Structure 1
Amino acid sequence: MKSKYILIGTTAMVLLVTSCKKFLDQTPISTPTDATTWQSDGDANTGVAACYSLIRGAFNASIGYYAYGDLASGEFSSSDQPDFQKVIDFNLGAGVASTATDNPLLKLRLWTPFYTAVAQSNRALFFISAMPTSVFTGTSDEERIARKNKYLGEAYFTRAFCYFTMAKVWGDVPLVLENNDATASQQYARTAKADVLKQAIVDVNLAIKYLNWKDNGSSDRIVRADKGAAYALLAHIDAWLGDYAGCNTACDAVINSGSYSLMPAASFMDIYKGQSQESIFEISQNTLAESYNAFVYYTLASQTLTSPYLNSTVPVWHVNNSLVTSLYTDTADVRFKKGFISVSSGATSFYECIKYTNIQTVNNNPTLKVALNNIVIFRLADIELLKAEALSAGPTADYNTALSLINTVRRQRNATPITGLTGAAVIQAVADERGRELFLEGHRTFDLIRLERVTKEQQFDNVSPGEFAAGKTYWPIDPNLFLNNSKLIQTAFWIGKVN
């Protein structure tokens, strides 16, 4: 299974660099092969594994997972790379030459990599549904049906995950659910984000129905979706929609499942090596076949790490020292003690986040290093703190339980419990704790968007309350996407503002 996963990942990455000639990018598994594949359990497994590989490729393009989720959140004060500085400044519509195909700002405005993953999910759902139960692995009809349902559940999960990601980043996006020869060339208008997320909830509930809880004996645990990953996704969708009652229920399903546990303080950094007892869902890249070259300029390692991990002396992305100082006031907190170091350049000192330092030298060649950290999407501390948000910001507030959840996490991190807070102070305490716990984990920008919706208080230095209400935090799409689709329109706030 693992070898097929790696093989399809290589294929997927080749497809992602293919130039986009249709609204949806080149299909991830070519139509002519569909008639000869999708014949066996192994075919279904390989087809579903491609969904995860394509998501990995979408997130790794111009460090997208962290650029969308962290770079504009205040975690970084500046960047030595001008186009990433524009993201920090929320200058998302800055001019980019159409010929600058490697420009990170241009890549971040393209949703085609995510639609490539959606297309593969659609293909998997279509063909696996049509496959006879008899071809799946199992010693009984019940086992073979469960095996088929597992693959269908994963395909529903990956499609829901892609649409949730795109709805957070761009708002309204085209909703494409069918799989046929005309899909790649058909023109689609943008679908209202509420309808996109409604479909994502339908999909994730089907994933919950079809998937089992974590199999601790599987080498693919955590990097393939299971029932816990589906419930975690549902909790985040509900929180994004402001449905805190639904969010609370989904969080409870994860917390009460007994499938996950918080890592002890001594092992906190093991979370980022991948597949820890705390993780719920990760994008796998902790093997040489899945990893990325740490020296490539547009990678997380190259932007955030210095010697002894890489050769640079100052991080390209400069951590916001003031934010780190204000968040981590407890000197015993292992999230600060183990997650950061201080580096200097002349009279200037920088904090450096070292969560992602699983760097390996290949063939004893110091000029060839690969980064082997998985992308941690959901983990138990995230879900416990999301439940705390639901309890403190929801219509029927339970501040005491919310504070108790905060302190459950803090105790595991050797941080002193917080006491004596109530009301809006607990809502802010939850946001701050998520900031400490999930620093540079792809959450803070979206956390602050939800916080501003609840408190109506400005959270972004470069987004005024009026701009926030007008949708400035949603990304524009690159004008090149209009060339083959006359039905597309620019993201509302950015109409007339993208050069």
Structure 2
Amino acid sequence: MKKYNIIKLLTATAAALFMTACSWVKEPAPGVTELEDYFVSGQACINNVTANYVPLVWEFQSTYYSEWFIGDVMSDDAIKGGQNVSDMSQAYELENFKSNADNEIAYDFYGAQYQGIARCNLSLTYIPDVACDSVMTQSVKDRLIGECYFLRAYYYFRLVRAFGGVPLTLQVENSDERWAMPRETTENVYKQIISDLTEAERLLWNKSEYASEDLGRATKGAAQAMLMKAYLYQGKYTEAEQWGAKFLLDQESEYSLTPNFADNFTLAGENNCESVFEFQYANESTSDYGTGNGSTRGTFTTILTRSRATNMGDEGWGFNKPTQNLYNEYEENDPRRDATIMSLQGEYASENDIYLGNSYLNRKSGMYNADGSGYTYKIAHASRGVLNNKQIRLADVLLMYAEACEENGNTIGAEDALERVRARARANAPEGAINPLPEYPNYTIKINGVEKTPTLKEAIRHERRMELAMEGHRWFDLCRWGVAVEVMNAYRETETPEARAEMSEMRPFQTLLPIPHKQILLNSALTQNPEY
């Protein structure tokens, strides 16, 4: 999806969309006549579906709510960072298990997903009845509908893994229906996700069938990968392995691992051969800082995670700092460590980058310049960057498949998929490194400072952490594995004294975020997660 065109097409449909889908809790039901007047051409349908992607990239409303505040900062991979513990206090609460139902990150994140769902419901209600034309052939129409099913499933997936069971709305709702919608069970939400993804997989195109200006749209491969992921999160390993095998067979010619791991996190590596699905950000020079949802074009993540010092170029805010615990788990000569974690030394060291004894920076999200050789991405203006956010990479798919195979006793399949990921990292090892990253099981790993020979399950989980660190996966992995409490409380003991003094013990109920209190006030049928 060409970055400029996304914004241009969104602008063309903004007036129609705003009154129908921009607020889950505020806007009245749309007038039928207005909508029927809008959905009259293939181009209008294309514009409408393009706008359905936009809530995925929103990161700011009442506060910043990028998903990595949950996926990274709540885990043992990252510490909040910033100027001090009061900087982004909402993230501090999440990180240290002190949050309640008034947490603004949880509130904004929850609302954004439902805005995306409402947009998809609108499209799925009206587009099937629009006649095909020279712009929207039947094949394009089917694909557009498939994109909507994929996106609705993706929004619900983001909700269910963070909050548990949530209200399911599958049509354009009127105002009265919105105010009294009970939560569905987690099981039923996943059933709907599977249903939507199955329909999406049937209708979507392969990545190679898209024109270059449409790269970034949902694909058949993305739907297959998400089907595997959705089954994996439910512990349904037979189905997960089946969908993983189907992806690897059907998509063999569509995706490949980049020769250089670090190339996935440069501007030149956007929508590359390894990318299965990524959020598209725009190079837009007009500042819209503080205007909230609906105005996002670039990403806040770049400035949020860059160095707070000026001695590497433009100053940032220093959030999402990799932990010493993460740094220590990398094996000797693993090139992914330095491609993930920037350790500031010499002329680049600055007291401004020290937060509770931690001076590391997240290199993946904004530390490279355009050619990958420098220290910091430039941003288009005072608050926005242009780097896309990779949500699903082939390496992630391989490791999910390895996990499903291991759970099913398919040792050969698990080891083969694991080795594909390690082999790429091995090939990137420093010149002269002796026996870097050996094949399983010929190596040891360190977990919380304890060195051991891993079981296959432990090796796969270790590899996920090393390969996908700082990409927003870790917290959700720990929760679905059922080890979050054990891991997080053990991790706390490895932190700096300054950080440890701020941390609370994690309790089992905190694997789910609280349902936002403001939503409960608006929805009389909505109930809170236990113990919040």
* TM-score after normalising by structure 1: 0.82
User: Structure 1 residue 488 and structure 2 residue 506: aligned?
Assistant: no
Matches within 5 A, 1:277-356: 277-288=273-284, 299-306=300-307, 307=310, 308-312=312-316, 315-326=318-329, 328-331=330-333, 333-343=334-344, 344-346=349-351, 350-356=359-365
**Equivalent of 2:94 in 87, 103, 108:** 87
TM-superposed CA distance for 1:69, in Å, is: 1.3
**Equivalent of 2:135 in 134, 137, 147:** 137
Identify the residue that residue 436 of structure 1 maps to in structure 2.
466
* Aligned counterparts of 1:322 and 1:15: Cα–Cα separation in 2: 49
The one-letter code sitting in structure 1 at the alignment partner of 2:474 is R
Q: Deviations over 1:10-55 (max 9, x none)?
A: 689999999x998545379876631211111111111111110122
Identify the residue that residue 72 of structure 1 maps to in structure 2.
74
CA spacing shift, 1:38–1:136, aligned 2, 3 Å: farther
TM-superposed CA distance for 1:264, in Å, is: 0.7
- Give the gaps of 5 or more residues in structure 1: 97-104, 139-143, 495-499
The one-letter code sitting in structure 1 at the alignment partner of 2:117 is V
TM-superposed CA distance for 1:274, in Å, is: 1.7
Matches within 5 A, 1:205-220: 205-215=198-208, 218-220=211-213
* Aligned counterparts of 2:17 and 2:327: Cα–Cα separation in 1: 36
* Aligned counterparts of 2:273 and 2:126: Cα–Cα separation in 1: 34
TM-superposed CA distance for 1:216, in Å, is: 5.9
* Aligned counterparts of 2:160 and 2:327: Cα–Cα separation in 1: 29
Matches within 5 A, 1:457-496: 458-461=486-489, 467-468=507-508, 471-494=509-532
CA spacing shift, 1:227–1:93, aligned 2, 3 Å: same
CA spacing shift, 1:58–1:25, aligned 2, 3 Å: farther
Aligned with 1:35: secondary structure? helix
Identify the residue that residue 123 of structure 1 maps to in structure 2.
122
Identify the residue that residue 378 of structure 2 maps to in structure 1.
360
Are the equivalent residues in 2 in contact too, given 1:268–1:335 (CA < 8 A)?
Answer: no
**Equivalent of 2:229 in 231, 236, 245:** 236
CA spacing shift, 1:116–1:174, aligned 2, 3 Å: same
Are the equivalent residues in 2 in contact too, given 1:407–1:417 (CA < 8 A)?
Answer: no
CA spacing shift, 1:372–1:75, aligned 2, 3 Å: same
* Aligned counterparts of 2:350 and 2:403: Cα–Cα separation in 1: 39
The one-letter code sitting in structure 2 at the alignment partner of 1:279 is S
TM-superposed CA distance for 1:349, in Å, is: 5.8
Aligned with 2:79: secondary structure? strand
Are the equivalent residues in 2 in contact too, given 1:71–1:88 (CA < 8 A)?
Answer: yes
CA spacing shift, 1:87–1:207, aligned 2, 3 Å: same
Are the equivalent residues in 2 in contact too, given 1:204–1:230 (CA < 8 A)?
Answer: yes
Q: Deviations over 1:59-91 (max 9, x none)?
A: 886233211211111112343323212111122
Aligned with 1:360: secondary structure? coil
Corresponding pairs, count: 463
Identity %: 24
CA spacing shift, 1:253–1:202, aligned 2, 3 Å: same
**Equivalent of 1:381 in 377, 395, 400:** 395
Are the equivalent residues in 2 in contact too, given 1:25–1:113 (CA < 8 A)?
Answer: no
TM-superposed CA distance for 1:384, in Å, is: 0.2
Identify the residue that residue 276 of structure 1 maps to in structure 2.
272
CA spacing shift, 1:459–1:17, aligned 2, 3 Å: farther
* Aligned counterparts of 2:70 and 2:288: Cα–Cα separation in 1: 19
Are the equivalent residues in 2 in contact too, given 1:271–1:278 (CA < 8 A)?
Answer: no
Identify the residue that residue 62 of structure 1 maps to in structure 2.
64
Q: Deviations over 1:164-216 (max 9, x none)?
A: 11000110100001124447644201111110110110010000111121136
Q: Deviations over 1:467-497 (max 9, x none)?
A: 32xx321110221112222111111232xxx
- Give the gaps of 5 or more residues in structure 2: 293-298, 370-376, 430-436, 444-452, 493-502
Aligned with 2:196: secondary structure? helix
* Aligned counterparts of 2:455 and 2:485: Cα–Cα separation in 1: 13
TM-superposed CA distance for 1:403, in Å, is: 2.6
* Aligned counterparts of 1:290 and 1:65: Cα–Cα separation in 2: 24
* Aligned counterparts of 2:272 and 2:98: Cα–Cα separation in 1: 37
Are the equivalent residues in 1 in contact too, given 2:302–2:384 (CA < 8 A)?
Answer: no
CA spacing shift, 1:195–1:424, aligned 2, 3 Å: farther
Are the equivalent residues in 1 in contact too, given 2:283–2:385 (CA < 8 A)?
Answer: no
**Equivalent of 2:416 in 390, 404, 409:** 404
Aligned with 1:472: secondary structure? helix
Q: Deviations over 1:110-134 (max 9, x none)?
A: 42211111011001001011112x3
Identify the residue that residue 194 of structure 2 maps to in structure 1.
201
The one-letter code sitting in structure 2 at the alignment partner of 1:419 is Y
Aligned with 1:372: secondary structure? coil
TM-superposed CA distance for 1:417, in Å, is: 2.8
User: Structure 1 residue 370 and structure 2 residue 366: aligned?
Assistant: no
Identify the residue that residue 102 of structure 1 maps to in structure 2.
none
CA spacing shift, 1:445–1:429, aligned 2, 3 Å: same
Identify the residue that residue 263 of structure 1 maps to in structure 2.
258
Are the equivalent residues in 2 in contact too, given 1:291–1:372 (CA < 8 A)?
Answer: no
TM-superposed CA distance for 1:5, in Å, is: 2.2
Aligned with 1:378: secondary structure? strand
Q: Deviations over 1:233-261 (max 9, x none)?
A: 11110110001111112222222212100
CA spacing shift, 1:465–1:387, aligned 2, 3 Å: farther
* Aligned counterparts of 2:171 and 2:37: Cα–Cα separation in 1: 20
CA spacing shift, 1:430–1:74, aligned 2, 3 Å: same
**Equivalent of 2:243 in 250, 264, 289:** 250
The one-letter code sitting in structure 1 at the alignment partner of 2:318 is P
CA spacing shift, 1:181–1:35, aligned 2, 3 Å: farther
More moved, 285-294 vs 83-92: 285-294
TM-superposed CA distance for 1:137, in Å, is: 2.8
* Aligned counterparts of 2:196 and 2:234: Cα–Cα separation in 1: 16
What's the Cα RMSD here?
A: 3.5
CA spacing shift, 1:293–1:389, aligned 2, 3 Å: farther
